[in-house]
Amino acid sequence: MIWYPYTQMKTMDEPIKIIGAEGIYLHTETQKLIDTTSSWWSVIHGYNNPELNAVLKEQVDVFSHVMLGGLTHDPVEKLSDKLKDMLPGDLNYCFYSDSGSVAVEVSLKMAIQYFFNQNKPLKKGIIALEHAYHGDTFKTMAVGDDEDYHLAFPEKEGVYHIKPDDAALESILIHHHETIAALIVEPLLQGAGGMKIYDVSFLEKAKQLCERYDVLLIFDEVATGFGRTGHRFVSDLVCPDIIVLGKALTAGYIGHAATVASEKIYQGFYSDNPDHALMHGPTFMGNPLACTVALKSFEIFEREDYLSKIKHIEAKLKENFKSFESNKVREVRILGGCLCIEVNDPKGLKGFKQYALKHGIHSRPFINYIYGMFPYIISDDALNKVCKVYKKWFEEIK
């Protein structure tokens, strides 16, 4: 018996059985559905990409896994070199994990221990944003701020939540910087907390303030990385001390994530004292299949100029929703390859999923949001069709 995610098992709808997947489509026994979720925003090249399939098959025949404890291999070395080249500033030191949540945990451990290693054990508090979502493990729930996800786990000790507002940040830093290790944000676009978008100026100011008050800046780019906001990484605009990557890192093929630290952070652990080491080591970190598929995915991303594709998706979405109005809708938000329609009342989304299915679209609305996090290979026709169906829903509901 399967226990499904984020679901009341007693009342859940029958899950849709997928028997195949190709490009932007999920195949059921009877339908080809346009997938608007990119499987939780990870499948950026679409499903069943022949190039990704080929490199995986090749690597399986070499070896599919060895631990990274005391061993190393070409795929992980190449991926680390590539990330060092791709990422801005001196974000050079890659620590791998098997999921975004764990990679965020690692970033928080890095930040807290960075100060512990300097004999500043009181600096272990974390500032995060209201509506933040950073994962489902304990510390990521604590820095998260969404009771729709984590109602039964309200512990927030040592965590401050603020709006993305310079004055609010400065006020906390002035009073508490001696007990604060880091500010963690989903930069520009807050995903699971409601696809909320804020301005880059907050990040610019946050970086200055963090430097002034000796607090580390962590960008959780698990969702925003690899083009989702229209930028390759938001870190290309403002460079943090630590970046966390996941989801699209491996193009939705294999769960993997990376926590990449700057020189300053790495040097905070690099010493003759064994107690200064980072004590973490997921069994599947640096998995060769994951590294191999990530490398090929980056190659396609660069070769096919995905940033132009994403700009085009953004323009098409804006065109589609230019004159859209509905008294059921609070706001339509569009950024890069992301569309969010926020409704006034979640009851207004009852039946939407079935409606979309009837029109050949797989959509997964949550709380009061309908969203589209499209594979970047989506055609104009498919995108226009999705927008048309989404808009029509609001015309047809009473």
In angstroms, give the least distance from the CB of 135 to ligand PLP: 4
Q: How far apart are CA 243 and CA 89, in angstroms?
A: 11
From 26-34, 93-101, 310-318, 341-349, give the range in contact with ligand PLP by CB under 6 A: 93-101
In angstroms, give the least distance from the CB of 303 to ligand PLP: 26
Contact 246, 100 (CB under 8 A): yes
* Of 328, 319, 312, residue with least CA distance to 368: 328
In angstroms, give the least distance from the CB of 168 to ligand PLP: 21
In angstroms, give the least distance from the CB of 58 to ligand PLP: 26
From 21-29, 43-51, 186-194, 313-321, give the range in contact with ligand PLP by CB under 6 A: 186-194
Q: Which residues contact 306 (CB under 8 A, 6 or more apart)?
A: 44, 227, 300, 376
Closest to ligand PLP by CB, 117 or 259: 259
In angstroms, give the least distance from the CB of 43 to ligand PLP: 13
How far are the Cα atoms of 113, 190, 235, 316, 341 from residue 330, in angstroms, in the given order? 43, 17, 30, 21, 8
Does 223 engage in binding with ligand PLP (CB under 6 A)?
A: yes
In angstroms, give the least distance from the CB of 246 to ligand PLP: 5
From 5-13, 97-105, 285-293, 380-388, give the range in contact with ligand PLP by CB under 6 A: 97-105
Does 375 engage in binding with ligand PLP (CB under 6 A)?
A: no
Among 142, 172, 183, 192, binds ligand PLP (CB under 6 A): 192
User: b/e map of 185-208 (b: 16 or more CB within 10 Å)?
Assistant: bbbbbbbbbbbbbbeeebbebbbe
Q: How far apart are CA 25 and CA 31, in angstroms?
A: 9
From 220-228, 258-266, 302-310, 330-338, give the range in contact with ligand PLP by CB under 6 A: 220-228
Does 227 engage in binding with ligand PLP (CB under 6 A)?
A: no
Neighbours of 364 (CB within 10 A): 17
Does 133 engage in binding with ligand PLP (CB under 6 A)?
A: yes
User: Would strands 180-185 and 125-129 be described as parallel, antiparallel, or unpaired?
Assistant: parallel
From 215-223, 262-270, 273-281, 306-314, give the range in contact with ligand PLP by CB under 6 A: 215-223
Among 191, 225, 252, 288, binds ligand PLP (CB under 6 A): 191
Neighbours of 214 (CB within 10 A): 15
Does 246 engage in binding with ligand PLP (CB under 6 A)?
A: yes
Among 99, 117, 229, 287, binds ligand PLP (CB under 6 A): 99
User: b/e map of 33-53 (b: 16 or more CB within 10 Å)?
Assistant: bbbbbbbebbbbbbbebeebe
Does 142 engage in binding with ligand PLP (CB under 6 A)?
A: no
In angstroms, give the least distance from the CB of 120 to ligand PLP: 27
Does 222 engage in binding with ligand PLP (CB under 6 A)?
A: yes
Contact 297, 377 (CB under 8 A): no
Q: How far apart are CA 216 and CA 210, in angstroms?
A: 6
Neighbours of 60 (CB within 10 A): 13
Which 8-state DSSP code applies to residue 342? E
Which residues are bridge partners to 162 per DSSP?
Answer: 129
Within residues 4-63, the interface with ligand PLP by CB under 6 A covers 40
User: Would strands 216-220 and 180-185 be described as parallel, antiparallel, or unpaired?
Assistant: parallel
The residues that are catalytic are 6, 133, 220, 247
Does 134 engage in binding with ligand PLP (CB under 6 A)?
A: yes
Contact residues: ligand PLP, CB under 6 A:
40, 99-101, 104, 133-135, 186, 191-192, 220, 222-223, 246
